[in-house]
Amino acid sequence: MTFDARARGTELAQALARATSVTALCHENPDADTIGGAIAMALIAERLGKRSEIVSVDRPGAVFDYLPRIRDVRSTPELPPDVAVICDAATCERIGRVAIEKAAWLSRATLINIDHHVTNTQYGAINCVDPTAAATCQVIAEMLPVLGVRLDAEIATALLTGIVRDSHGFSDRSTSVATLRIAAELVEAGADLPAIHRRLLVELPYRTMALWGKMLDRLRSARDGRIVYTTLLPAMLQETGTEQHDADGLAEFMANSKGADITILLRELGPDETRVSLRVSEAVDATAIAREFGGGGHARRAGCTIRASAEVAARELLIVCEALLDRQEPTPAGA
């Protein structure tokens, strides 16, 4: 079904008009698209005269320090339950422990689900989901004309942040003519594209490079290089003085491995919890792998959480990935 930005935007506008306060929630381990989208929605609510807050269970990385209201991000909702806008999460559970600890709060709020993942479960009272969009921030930008808010430099900066990162600097195949037109409008409104691109896709602090070095030292391959994977262990963070968000971007870097159809970054959070980031070529559907472990995402990028150590999770993933590649192997002549 084609996403109707005007119809969904009208529903969103009506919900915002009725609201006294708006809570914009990010998914756990926040990336540029979820934090950019949440900040944009908080700013939109603010422009409409509503109280607003931004919630992320994990602290956003220092790379986002240029964003408006970034220092106002909270780890849990403090406003009364009213309108809750969840940005860039295919399921409500993706917002992390808030989904459990604040389940009663969420049950009393009007949930607005804004996303671009094809695996989105449509969990909101209002679902603004466009799987063809390059980013959740693009979905928000598509609806902005009917929200009754003028596009300004702050909102434009937040939205362009998500679009630049999720489109990998407009190089991902999800980048469309609409994506480029929206980006041009955001730049015209005051977003600094060169500065955003450099902060998100070019600059790396020394300690981040040190962390990447440790992860690349653990780089392994299977199936003659068609599968490439590595692991981030808690000890590496301690040794380099880094945090989980400092590993962001490595999955995309690994995906540059020539001949690799599946690249996997495993982040061990504890002895029985490993987050997985999947990047694949056009020969594979990443969601087919992620779904095996209760995850989801996009055809080329997906993720999941496996309740096991990274070592065990890697073995389980390799079984699934190798089986997937086997099903796609051409049948030998005469077989």
Give pLDDT, residue 334: 42
Number of H helices, E strands in the chain: 13, 11
Range 6-19 average pLDDT: 98
pTM: 0.87
Q: To 5 degrees, how large is the angle CA 249–CA 254–CA 256?
A: 110
CATH topology of domain 206-328: Diaminopimelate Epimerase; Chain A, domain 1 (3.10.310)
Distance, in Å, from the CA atom of 181 to the CA atom of 217, rounded to the nearest integer, reads: 41
What 3-state class would DSSP assign to 295? coil
Q: Which letter, b or e, does each residue of 32-41 get, where b requires 16 or more Cβ atoms within 10 Å of its Cβ?
A: bbbbbbbbbb
CATH for 5-201 is 3.90.1640.10
Q: Per-residue confidence at 169, pLDDT binned at 50, 70, 90? A: very high
Q: Is the pLDDT of residue 171 over 60?
A: yes
Query: 42 pLDDT exceeds 60?
Result: yes
In this model, does residue 335 exceed pLDDT 70? no
What is the per-residue pLDDT across 87-129, written as a single tens digit (0 to 9) for each? 999 999 999 999 999 999 999 999 999 999 999 999 999 999 9
Encoded tokens for 318: 């390799």
The CB-side HSE value for 89 (13 A sphere, CA atoms) comes to 26
Per-residue pLDDT, averaged over 182-201, amounts to: 97
Residue with tokens 């908080």: 42
DSSP result, 195-208: HHHIIIII---HHH
Taking Cα atoms as reference points, which of 40, 139, 91, 83 lies closest to residue 303? 91
* Predicted local distance difference test score (pLDDT) of residue 298: 87
Average pLDDT, the chain: 95
Mean pLDDT, residues 155-166 taken together: 98
Instruction: Give the start-to-end residue ranges of the domains of the chain.
Output: 5-201, 206-328
Which of residues 233 and 297 earns the better pLDDT score? Answer: 233
Question: pLDDT of 243-302, one tens digit each?
Answer: 998 998 999 999 999 999 999 999 999 999 999 999 999 999 999 999 999 998 888 999
Distance of alpha carbon 269 from alpha carbon 305, whole angstroms: 10
pLDDT band at 1 (very low <50, low <70, confident <90, very high): low
- Cα 291 from Cα 285, distance rounded (Å): 10
Q: What is the pLDDT of residues 120-145, one digit of tens each?
A: 999 999 999 999 999 999 999 999 99
In the predicted model, is pLDDT for residue 331 greater than 60? no
Q: Which one is predicted more confidently, 67 or 328?
A: 67
